[in-house]
Amino acid sequence: MDQGTPLGRILKTIFLSVFTLATLYPVLWVFKMALSPSQGFDASVNPLPSQPTLENFHHVLFERPFFVWLLNSLVISVATTVLGVFLACTSAYALSRFRFPGRVPAMLSFLVTQMFPGVLMMIPLYLIMDILGLLDQMMGLILVYSTTAIPFCVWMLKGYFDTIPKELEEAALMDGASPALVFWKIMLPLSLPAVAVTALFSFMTAWNEFILAAVFMNKETSYTLPVGLRLMVGQFSSEWGHFAAGAILVSLPVVVLFFAVQKNLVGGLTAGGVKG
């Protein structure tokens, strides 16, 4: 059926509305549990709370070490983003512009590492962290998260650097600019959309990761937010209201960051996938 006809547009609107509601329903259900006074698992179809209250949010914020976990997550996520993006930018620029022995194997090695889940590296990473004395240390998680995020970031930025004309660099070199100045003053500003995408990916990877943080961090004061939320769901009892409130609070920084860089997301993702 032609979507340009009134009937086609109506059917398309109905179709999109149904799928939008299906997507939003679980989110509304989480808000319902967070705003309900009961800690039980409410399986009713109605996504609206019968007696809205902010008790669960108050409990998570002031009766748990939430702000300690928040500070840990912020430090780890921001440091991972800065370190990972810096290393990815320099590596991607070298792979895009320079021709040197081992260039192709290096690119393939980055690609191969993405084929295996990070859990497979948990035991060797734990042994390395133990030898280096980085268990229960934020620096340990920062190094682990940075290295695991680099392969995707390098491929993303390398594809974007390929789309920037080399004539811009050649003109700057002829004017007397050094290669380092060309990279910092020309290439990086032109690649901000791709840098925004890789920064968001690195931040979300560190912010939401649970398994490695739960294994490497054993002290409650060293927990990140996802590990702290685990304490609210146990084997014999679960505080679903507190867990839902905590999940909403944990999601807010990512939502804010997403809206802050959304203008660059589409351009960075599409342009970075033109060449490989």
Query: Which pLDDT tens digit goes with each residue over 216-239?
Result: 988 888 899 999 888 887 666 778
Q: Is the pLDDT of residue 174 over 80?
A: yes
Q: At 90, which helix (H) or strand (E)?
A: helix 66-97
What pTM was estimated for this model as a whole? 0.82
Alpha-carbon 181 to chain mean position: 30
pLDDT of residue 1: 47
Q: List, in sequence order, every residue forming a beta bridge with 233; answer none if it has no partner.
A: 238
Per the CB < 8 A criterion, the answer to whether 197 and 156 are in contact is yes
Radius of gyration of the CA atoms of the chain, in A: 23
Please state the rounded mean pLDDT for residues 9-21. Answer: 87
Band (pLDDT 50/70/90 cuts) for residue 207 is very high
Ranges of CATH 1.10.3720.10 domains, the chain: 64-272
Low-confidence winner among 116-120, 133-137, 157-161 (lowest mean pLDDT): 116-120
What single-letter amino acid sits at 56?
A: N
> H/E/C letters for each residue in 177-223?
CCHHHHHHHHHHHHCHHHHHHHHHHHHHHHHHCCHHHHHHCCCHHHC
Average pLDDT over the chain, rounded to whole?
Answer: 83
Please tell me the class of the 64-272 domain. Answer: mainly alpha
Whether 77 shows a pLDDT value over 80: the answer reads: yes
Q: pLDDT by residue (tens digit) across 46-60? A: 777 778 888 889 888
* Alpha carbons 197 and 13: distance in angstroms, whole number: 30
> Which H or E run includes 2?
none
